[in-house]
Amino acid sequence: MADACFQTTHDVIVVGGGHAGIEAALAAARLGVSTLLVTQDRAEVGRMPCNPSIGGLGKAQLVREIDALGGEMARAIDETGIQFRILNRRKGPAVRSPRAQADKLAYQARMLAAVEAQPGLSVLEAEVIGLRVEFSRKEGRRVSGVRLADGGSLQGSRVVLATGTFLRGLLHTGQQQRAGGREGAPSAEGLSEDLRTLGFELRRLKTGTPMRLLRRTIDWQALAAQAGDPDPLPFSLRTLSFAPEQVLCHITWTSEATHRVIRDNLDRSPLYAGVIEGQGPRYCPSIEDKVVRFEHKERHQVFLEPEGRQSEEIYVNGLSTSLPADVQVAMVRSIVGLEEAQLVRFGYAVEYDALPSWQVRTTLESKKIDGLYFAGQILGTSGYEEAAAQGLMAGINAALSLKHQSPLILGRHEAYLGVLIDDLATKEISEPYRMFTSRAEHRLWLRWDNAAARLLGHAERIGLLRPAELELLREEVEAARRLRERLERASVNDASTGGRMAAAEWVRRPEGELARVLAETNRELSKSLPDNELKRRSVIETVEADIKYEGYVARQERLVRRQAHLEHLELPLDFPYRDTTALSWEAREKLERMRPATLGQAGRIDGVRQSDLAVLSVLARRVGAAGAGGGTPGAQGGQDR
Amino acid sequence: MRDAFSYRGSDADTIAALATPPGEGGIAIVRVSGPAALDILRAVFRAKPPHAAPVSHRARLGLVVWPTGSAPAGFEPGAPLDEVLALPLLSPHSYTGEDTIELQGHGGERAAGLVLAACVAAGARPAGPGEFTRRAFLNGRLSLDQAEAVADLVHAEDELAARVALAQLRGGLRREIQALEAPLRALLARLEGSLEFAQDEPEASVAREEIVDTLKAARAEVDRLLALAPVSRRVREGVQVVLAGPPNAGKSSLFNALLGQERVLVDAQPGTTRDVVSAPLRLEGLTFMLHDTAGLRERARRVETLGIDRAREVIADADVILVLRDLSKAGQADELDVAALGAGAEAVVLEVGTKVDVARAQAAGTGIRIRTSAKTGAGLEILREALLEAADAGKLRDTAAAGILLNQRHQCTLMDCRQELASLIEAVTAGGADEEVVASLLAALLQRMGEISGRVFSEQLLGEIFSRFCVGK
Closest CA to B191 of A436, A556, A419: A436
Residues above pLDDT 70, as percent of chain B: 72
pLDDT in tens, B93-138: 888 888 999 999 876 777 888 898 899 889 898 887 778 877 877 7
Mean pLDDT score, B198-227:
84
Mean pLDDT score, A465-479:
96
How far is Cα B372 from Cα B354, in angstroms, rounded to an integer?
5
CA A545 to chain centre: 24
pLDDT in tens, A101-111: 999 999 999 99
Does residue B108 contact residue B116 with C-beta atoms inside 8 Å?
A: no
Q: Which residues pair with A349 in a beta bridge?
A: A172, A208
Q: What is the pLDDT of residue A623?
A: 59
Q: What is the pLDDT of residue B2?
A: 30
- pTM attached to this predicted model: 0.78
How far is Cα B91 from Cα A214, in angstroms, rounded to an integer?
76
pLDDT in tens, A48-62: 999 999 999 999 999
Which domains does chain A carry? 13-165+199-206+352-460 (3.50.50.60), 212-349 (2.40.30.260), 480-553 (1.10.10), 569-628 (1.10.150.570)
Band (B167; pLDDT cuts 50, 70, 90): low
Q: Note whether B35 contacts A: Cβ–Cβ < 8 A.
A: yes
Q: Which of residues A625 and B254 earns the better pLDDT score?
A: B254
Mean pLDDT score, B323-327:
85
Q: Note whether B135 contacts A: Cβ–Cβ < 8 A.
A: yes
Per-residue buried b or exposed e for A356-366, using 16+ beta carbons within 10 Å of the residue's own CB: bbbbbbbbbbb
Does residue A376 contact residue A161 with C-beta atoms inside 8 Å?
A: no
| Contact: A581, B458; criterion CB under 8 Å | no
Residues above pLDDT 90, as percent of chain A: 64
Q: What is the pLDDT of residue B24?
A: 47
Most confident of A154-163, A437-446, A603-612: A154-163
Q: Note whether B174 contacts A: Cβ–Cβ < 8 A.
A: no
Of A57, A95, A582, the CB nearest to B139: A582
Q: What angle do CA A256, A261, A264 make, to 5 degrees?
A: 120
Residues in A closer than 8 angstroms to B416, CB to CB, are 559
Q: What is the pLDDT of residue B302?
A: 45
| Contact: B137, A615; criterion CB under 8 Å | yes
Band (B268; pLDDT cuts 50, 70, 90): very low
Residues in A closer than 8 angstroms to B457, CB to CB, are 566, 603, 610-611, 613-614, 617
Closest CA to A594 of A406, A403, A356, A407: A356
pLDDT in tens, A449-467: 999 999 999 999 999 999 9
Q: Which of residues A576 and A254 earns the better pLDDT score?
A: A254
Distances (CA, A) of A123 to A41, A280, A331, B202: 10, 32, 42, 45
Regarding an ipTM greater than 0.85, the answer is no
Q: A568 to chain B, minimum CA–CA distance in Å?
A: 13
In chain A, how long is the greatest CA-to-CA distance? 83
Residues above pLDDT 90, as percent of chain B: 16
Q: What is the pLDDT of residue B252?
A: 82
How far is Cα A298 from Cα A257, in angstroms, rounded to an integer?
10
How far is Cα A173 from Cα A168, in angstroms, rounded to an integer?
17
Q: Which of residues B205 and A217 earns the better pLDDT score?
A: A217
Residues 353-372 of B with CB under 8 A from A: none
Q: Note whether B376 contacts A: Cβ–Cβ < 8 A.
A: no
Closest CA to B294 of B320, B313, B279, B319: B313
How far is Cα B68 from Cα B84, in angstroms, rounded to an integer?
19
In single-letter form, the type of residue at position A116 comes to: E
> Given 3-state DSSP classes, what are the helix, strand and coil percentages for chain B, each rounded to the nearest 5?
45, 15, 40
Residues in A closer than 8 angstroms to B91, CB to CB, are 637, 639-640
Q: What is the pLDDT of residue A305?
A: 97
| Contact: A95, B135; criterion CB under 8 Å | no
pLDDT in tens, A506-518: 898 888 889 888 8
CA A20 to chain centre: 9
H or E element, residue A456: helix A451-462
Mean pLDDT score, A316-336:
95
Q: Note whether A611 contacts B: Cβ–Cβ < 8 A.
A: yes
| Contact: B455, A510; criterion CB under 8 Å | no
Q: What is the pLDDT of residue A609?
A: 77
Mean pLDDT score, A434-439:
90
Does the pLDDT value for residue A3 go beyond 80? no
Q: What is the pLDDT of residue A631?
A: 37
| Contact: B440, A443; criterion CB under 8 Å | yes
Mean pLDDT score, B264-277:
56
Mean pLDDT score, A250-266:
94
Most confident of A114-123, B24-33, B317-326, B463-472: A114-123
pLDDT in tens, B368-383: 888 888 888 888 999 9
Distances (CA, A) of B144 to A468, A566, A578, B453: 56, 18, 20, 12
Q: What is the mean pLDDT of chain A?
A: 89
